[in-house]
């Protein structure tokens, strides 16, 4: 049979096929070939017990893309959720998430969602006003939402309709609550946790990646993933980092030096755009990430 992996825990994979869920193990050849089945994979599998709905994975269809963190495949949209309030927008972490998504899934759309806008104050409202135009100018859709007040949820659904999306974001930003608002059935399975203000980080409320169907929308799925407190760009080779900054791309190849690193060289087409097509803050983070 052909199905899609919707969850993988401890070597057991939940595969959705023909309106049923089968629990499958991977054949030994996957381990020998060092291939790890991922949530989102379209797979061939053999049913060993129809009554108990068990089987073995036999093959993985070619992947459209494969994200490293979160580790999922075949996504159309990467939805990056950050908090508009405590913890306030972590711009460096936001850029790390975007860069990793660009590197591993360039063919997926990236959408930024600023959550918790219902409890903004004068200070962080100004921060939102500074974040939203910067990322929209360079080409990222940036949406405002509140899971608790159901604000922006319909707008978000409109952008995700008919697509497979993965939600990623640091712990404590209300990602699981936002997804519960998008997929009410998810609330029954997902655990919720309170943000610990004392240690300024969130509890991990999702322990594994899992794909959910959005009710009322045909062929619309969302992958919930574990939150995390940090992410880096270490997996991106230095000579590929510039291409992950989408605003750099029109100017790459136009520098005086063919091997320009866009840091100290003169005649750099990217540096010439700082303050214009290239945001100064984003460029500073490029230099920092490149080391």
Output the pLDDT for position 123. Answer: 57
CA dihedral of 11, 16, 18, 23, whole degrees rounded to 10: 30
Question: How far apart, in whole angstroms, are the C-alpha atoms of residue 185 and residue 214?
Answer: 9
Q: What percent of the chain has pLDDT over 70?
A: 87
pLDDT at position 15, please?
97
- Under the banding of pLDDT at 50, 70 and 90, the label for residue 111 is very high
pLDDT confidence of residue 170: 80
Residue 209: pLDDT band by 50, 70, 90 thresholds? confident
| Residue 187 banded pLDDT, cuts 50, 70, 90 | low
Pairing mode of beta strands 42-49, 77-83: unpaired
What is the predicted pLDDT for the residue at 86? 57
173-177, 250-254, 272-276: the lowest-pLDDT one:
173-177
pLDDT at 149 over 80: yes
The strand pair at 2-9 and 42-49 is best described as: antiparallel
Examine the pLDDT at 37 and tell me if it is beyond 60.
Answer: yes
Lowest mean pLDDT among 53-57, 67-71, 271-275, 276-280: 67-71
pLDDT value of position 197: 38
pLDDT band at 200 (very low <50, low <70, confident <90, very high): very low
- pLDDT value at residue 108: 96
Compute the distance between CA of residue 86 and CA of residue 34 in angstroms, rounded to an integer: 41
Q: Is the alpha carbon torsion for 8, 14, 16, 19 positive or negative?
A: negative
Mean pLDDT over all residues of the chain?
A: 86
Mean pLDDT of 49-62: 97
Exposure on the CB side of residue 77, measured as CA atoms within 13 A: 24
Residue 56, CA distances (Å) to 52, 86, 223 in order: 13, 45, 23
Name residue 55's beta-bridge partners: 24, 47
* Structural domains in the chain plus CATH codes: 2-60 (2.40.50.140), 77-224 (3.40.50.300), 238-290 (1.10.40.50)
CA dist 58 and 149 (Å) reads 45
The answer to whether residues 36 and 28 touch, using CB atoms and an 8 Å cutoff, is no
């Amino acid at each position: 049979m052909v199905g899609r992996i919707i969850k993988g825990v401890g070597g057991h994979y939940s595969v959705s096929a023909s309106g049923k869920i089968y629990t499958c193990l991977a054949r030994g050849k996957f381990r020998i070939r060092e291939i790890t089945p991922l949530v989102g994979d379209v797979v061939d599998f053999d049913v060993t017990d129809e009554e108990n709905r068990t089987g073995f994975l036999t093959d993985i269809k070619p992947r459209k893309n494969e994200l490293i963190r979160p580790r999922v495949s075949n996504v159309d949209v990467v939805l990056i959720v950050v908090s508009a309030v405590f913890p306030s927008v972590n711009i460096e972490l936001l850029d790390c998430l975007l860069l990793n998504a660009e590197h591993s899934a360039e063919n997926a759309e990236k959408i930024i969602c600023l959550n918790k806008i219902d409890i903004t104050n004068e200070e962080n409202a100004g921060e939102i006003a500074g974040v939203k135009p910067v990322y929209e100018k360079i080409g990222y859709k940036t949406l405002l939402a509140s899971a608790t007040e159901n604000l922006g949820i319909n707008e978000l659904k409109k952008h995700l309709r008919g697509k497979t999306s993965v939600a990623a974001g640091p712990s404590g930003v209300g990602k699981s609550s936002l997804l519960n608002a998008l997929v009410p059935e998810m609330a029954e399975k997902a655990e919720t946790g309170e943000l610990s203000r004392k240690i300024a980080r969130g509890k991990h409320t999702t322990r594994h990646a899992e794909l959910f169907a959005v009710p009322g929308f045909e062929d619309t799925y969302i992958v919930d993933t574990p939150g995390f407190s940090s992410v880096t760009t270490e997996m991106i080779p230095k000579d590929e980092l510039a291409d992950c900054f989408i605003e750099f791309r029109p100017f790459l190849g136009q520098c005086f030096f063919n091997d320009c690193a866009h840091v100290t060289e003169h005649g750099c087409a990217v540096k010439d755009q700082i303050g214009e097509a290239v945001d100064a803050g984003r460029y500073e983070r490029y230099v920092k990430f490149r080391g």
